[in-house]
Amino acid sequence: MIATHLPALQVVIPLLAAPICAMLRRGSHAWAWATVVSWTMPVIAVAILLQVLEGGTISYWIGSWEPPWGIEYRIDTANAFVLVLVSAIGAVVMPYARASLEREMPADRQVWYYTMYLLCLTGLLGMAATGDAFNVFVFMEIASLSSYVLIALGRDRRALVAAYQYLIVGTIGATFYVIGVGFLYVMTGTLNIADLAERLPLVENQRPVFVGLAFLTVGLSLKLALFPLHFWLPGAYAHAPSVATAFLAASATKVAIYLMLRFFFTVFGASYPLADLAIPALWIALSLAAIVLASITAIYENDVKRMLAFSSVAQIGYITLGIGLNSEAGLTGSIVHLFNHGLMKGALFLLVGGIAYSTGAVTVDRIAGLARRMPLTFAGLVIGGMSMVGVPGTVGFVSKWYLVLAAVERGWWWLAVLIVASSVLALVYMGRLVEAAYFRPAPASSAGDQEMPLSMLVPAWVLVGACVYFGLDTGLTAEVAAQAARGLLGTP
Amino acid sequence: MSGAATMLLAMAVPLAGALLIALSHGRPNQREAVTLVTAAVMFGLVASLVPEVMAGGRPATQPWTVLPGLDLQFVLEPLGMLFALVASFLWIVNSIYSIGYMRANQEPRQTSFYVFFALALSATLGIAFAGNLFTLFLFYEMLTLSTYPLVTHKRTDEALRAGRMYLLLLIGSSIVLFLPAIVWVSWAAGTTTFAPGGIVAGVLTPGETGWLLALFAFGIGKAAIMPMHRWLPAAMVAPTPVSALLHAVAVVKAGVFSIVKITVYVVGVDNLARVGAGDWLVYAAGTTVIVASLIALAQDNLKRRLAYSTVSQLSYVVLAAAIFTPVSIVAAALHIAAHAFGKITLFFAAGSIYTAAHKTEVSELDGIGRRMPWTMGAFAIGALSMIGVPPAAGFISKWYMAGAALAAGENFALAVIVLSTLLNAAYFVPIVYAAFLKPEPAGGPDHGEAPWPMVVALVATAAGTVLLFLLPNLPLSLARQLAGLP
């Protein structure tokens, strides 16, 4: 009985939990409540994924209104996978949040943090679960508005500027998205994604559809921070509270990427935007620009959080590159990297947040010699860094394997070489951190620095462990990603 | 115990050893005892596999699947057996030497030194036992990463710079060239499992085969074919035991081992001989042999001279393999073993001189042979092996190499061998001459031999160099098996 309502529960539980959380007066109570809610989410998400893997696509009618008139939650392998990622990251970061936030913000604000976090979680899960294009917009607004608050809660006033910038850009992105959906609605008279997919071929070569596609693409590209629309991201990630950065970096952009996949492949059908129009060349060029330019910027960045943020822009480039390759291997690489990058970047941001817990600001100079004082933190950073480079035995290798394979399949040797060559850039910027932390002498001012508390270290290491585990056992990640890719491409 | 289980255990022993060494921090005697026991157990396990392989057995195991078609797979074949034997035996000797060296020079961070050493050896065995390209690549990268802290051991700016170059060149080349080559093989042949005769024969055109071989030859930066050699001289900033075992044996041999293995089991010797797609490799390797020797001639720093000599000797192995006949493969395999014993002796001697006399330059060595007769005697034997003069092991491999070149009508290779022999003599003989026959300058420090563990180690490897000349049966029969000769 309850199993059939899982898709609704996935979204409704955090939504209803948020106002309750706001009514709790003490940060510790709010934290406990948010943790309980966050921990039920992956249970539901995994149950949904198992249902999908077993019985195929789930279609859930909200209020039993029949689609396309009512709102439908439609979950196939691709979005079930995204639900697992988002909810799992949410569950892992919650134990970490307690100690980290107590250090970073006054007690009266913590309740608001947890409330906004629950709303953000609602929005992200809703965006992934729903099968209605307008409903996506509603959840997008919920997620965005709450994430502006999350970022603005950062420890210094630069967070306000960063949040404001993100607010402007995010609003433009959401507006473009809804304009795009409007055009499609005008042409087809429907907002249901599955229904859109059926009706669009009848009108597909008409100008309003082009315009709609253009608005959608640009709007979502702003949200997922595709180069050169990424400029909001480094500031937002650098100044948000550490735990918010880890959560958003691992989930928010990933959900936007999922929507891009959904529109490109399910709604328009892969052959249309990626084969018939001139998008692929531009798309691949922008992805490569993201990979190369953002990585180079990361190399010269002294603030470690900003460095990791630029690295995120570069890694998103790998994901979009796989989309542009428009093949099963490429899309598998894309989806698996979406998951893998969520793990690695989540782990790295949690670890850096743990360094910030002791040091305040985290710059390359500040962490000199710190490995001796925080051996576990930096051991995790080394493993996360190896994963960024794509060393075999880590998740990064699996992603890169599929992307290179997709390029080789196409016979695009130059692209294969560029993909691998750009990992050397990751070696340089992660290597800088490792070298500073392990091999440079520690300044006298770092004498009081010590390892973050266990409640933070354990979640960070759970993600670090996942980076290695899923690099060796790809049964869950790569196989599910391949199935999702086949589902999106419509191949058996 | 089955061969497969022994292989896994042999790789696990140094990992367990690393853990125990880490736990022995602050108790030097216990730490070094653990190192020695670990090395001895590992060698015992590796040696116990010899009879099975000699009898034609190929112990194999496939403990794990990472991706469909991408397995962690270990298969022991003659070349891997030979490499594993050499590396694990020399680890014992090197550990004895390390104890003397690290204590006498009061090096800091000795525990982490022994820990990373053990990890590096585990990775080396993984490379030797790898049954497919993916497994080889996995341990190849592990070896680079585990030796990086050893290169930067001194923590000076120079050491950090060398470490950067080490990581960038080795990981850079392996990711940019080696990995695409593996993906290409996997995509074209549908497998990366090593098989006698190769797996891309008939799948790739001759032109493609040539490019594939180039990706492997330059992507395997550990083989130090020019211009990928720069990391090796830079890595000499590491403590001498590291230079001796890792940068004369384990790491660099992992490079040429991989190239020989890929030539035999992926691209296929017959295939290459038939399509002629790899003929350029002789020229690339030959040029490296000569140019590196010329550079070595100009080095006054003893370790740098030895490093360039290593670059040159590594390309000997590639040169031999690139003649693409069975006899040339025998020569390549033999030279892996022969050079290992000779070069580790030379490095041991260099470290011994540094420890006893604090001298690092060739020009300071006048008359040192009378103060350090054992060290310089061993050095002379190592030098003979490099030049290829009996009674040293280098003679045998060079003999086969020259024979293969002659039989195949490879005049260029033959010319390289002759010329480089002269060059080798030109940069080693003067050292030995100066050490024993020139008078010692007045006013130098008064010193004797290095601490006894170091002397024991370098005498042992020098003796090994001679023994390998007198009794070459074991490596020779493994090499012949590899090449498919009776």
What confidence score (pLDDT) does residue B75 get?
A: 93
Are A233 and A291 in the same domain? no
Are A218 and A314 in the same domain? no
Asked if A409's CB is within 8 angstroms of B183's CB, the reply is: no
- Cβ-based contacts of B186 with chain A (< 8 Å): 405
The DSSP code for A73 is E
What confidence score (pLDDT) does residue A327 get?
A: 87
Query: Searching chain A, which residue's CA lies closest to the CA of residue B170?
Result: A424
Identify which of A350, A343, A346 has the alpha carbon closest to the alpha carbon of residue A377: A350
- A399: contact with B, CB 8 A cutoff: no
Bridge partners, residue B71, by sequence: B65
- A133: contact with B, CB 8 A cutoff: no
- A428: contact with B, CB 8 A cutoff: yes
Q: Which long-range contacts link A412-420 to residues 24+ away (Cβ below 8 Å)?
A: A413/B180, A415/A284, A415/A288, A416/B180, A416/B183, A417/B176, A417/B180, A418/A288, A418/A291, A418/A292, A419/A291, A419/A318, A419/A321, A420/A390, A420/B175, A420/B176, A420/B179, A420/B180
- CA A222 to CA A454: how far, in whole Å? 37
Residue B9 confidence (pLDDT) above 70: yes
Are A258 and A320 in the same domain? no
Residue A367 confidence (pLDDT) above 70: yes
pLDDT digits (tens, 9 = 90+) for B338-388: 999 999 999 999 999 999 888 889 988 888 888 899 999 999 999 999 999
Domain that holds residue A111: 1-272
- A375: contact with B, CB 8 A cutoff: no
pLDDT digits (tens, 9 = 90+) for B298-326: 999 999 999 999 999 999 999 999 988 88
What confidence score (pLDDT) does residue A31 get?
A: 92
Are A340 and A259 in the same domain? no
Query: Searching chain B, which residue's CA lies closest to the CA of residue A441?
Result: B155
DSSP string across A392-412: TTSHHHHHHHHHHHHHHHHT-
Buried b (16+ CB within 10 A) or exposed e, A473-490: ebeebbbbbbbbbbbbbe
Are A345 and A245 in the same domain? no
> Distance between the two ends of chain A, CA-based, in angstroms?
31
Mutation target to probe the A interface, by most A beta carbons within 10 A, among B72, B137, B175 is B175
- What does the pLDDT average to over B411-430? 92
What confidence score (pLDDT) does residue B390 get?
A: 86
Asked if A393's CB is within 8 angstroms of B142's CB, the reply is: yes
**Number of folded domains in chain A?**
2
Are A266 and A282 in the same domain? no
- A389: contact with B, CB 8 A cutoff: yes
- A398: contact with B, CB 8 A cutoff: yes
Nearest by CB to B180, from A389, A420, A474: name it.
Answer: A420
Which of A272, A298, A315 is the endpoint of a domain? A272
Asked if A416's CB is within 8 angstroms of B183's CB, the reply is: yes
Nearest by CB to A427, from B149, B155, B168: name it.
Answer: B168
Query: Searching chain B, which residue's CA lies closest to the CA of residue A386?
Result: B145
Residue A487 confidence (pLDDT) above 70: yes
Give the pair of three-digit tokens for residue A206.
């008409």
Q: How far is A202 from chain B (nearest CA, A)?
A: 39
Asked if B145's CB is within 8 angstroms of A391's CB, the reply is: yes
Are A314 and A266 in the same domain? no
ipTM: 0.84
> CB neighbours of B68 closer than 8 A, spacing ≥ 6?
none
Are A223 and A314 in the same domain? no
Nearest by CB to A474, from B66, B180, B187: name it.
Answer: B66
Are A251 and A398 in the same domain? no
> How many Å separate Cα B297 from the centre of its chain?
21
Residue B271 confidence (pLDDT) above 90: no
pLDDT digits (tens, 9 = 90+) for A394-434: 999 999 999 999 998 888 888 998 898 888 899 999 999 99
Asked if A472's CB is within 8 angstroms of B160's CB, the reply is: no
Are A322 and A254 in the same domain? no
The DSSP code for A5 is G
The DSSP code for B271 is H
Which of A272, A307, A326 is the endpoint of a domain? A272
Calculate what percentage of chain A has a pLDDT beyond 90: 57
Q: How far is B116 from chain A (nearest CA, A)?
A: 14
Is the pLDDT higher at B448 or at B284?
B284
Mutation target to probe the A interface, by most A beta carbons within 10 A, among B116, B176, B177, B187 is B176
Give the pair of three-digit tokens for residue B302.
């003893």
Asked if B187's CB is within 8 angstroms of A405's CB, the reply is: yes
- CA A196 to CA B444: how far, in whole Å? 90
What confidence score (pLDDT) does residue B269 get?
A: 87
Residue A199 confidence (pLDDT) above 90: no
Which of A219, A248, A272 is the endpoint of a domain? A272
Are A154 and A17 in the same domain? yes
What confidence score (pLDDT) does residue B67 get?
A: 80
Nearest by CB to A439, from B152, B175, B184: name it.
Answer: B152
What confidence score (pLDDT) does residue A406 get?
A: 92
What confidence score (pLDDT) does residue A273 get?
A: 64
- What does the pLDDT average to over B256-269? 92
What confidence score (pLDDT) does residue B410 get?
A: 87
Nearest by CB to A427, from B67, B137, B171: name it.
Answer: B171
Cite the DSSP H helix spans in B388-410. Answer: 393-408
Are A207 and A305 in the same domain? no
Nearest by CB to A391, from B141, B168, B172: name it.
Answer: B141
Q: How far is A267 from chain B (nearest CA, A)?
A: 30
Mutation target to probe the A interface, by most A beta carbons within 10 A, among B67, B133, B185 is B67
Q: How far is B156 from chain A (nearest CA, A)?
A: 8
Q: How far is A310 from chain B (nearest CA, A)?
A: 21
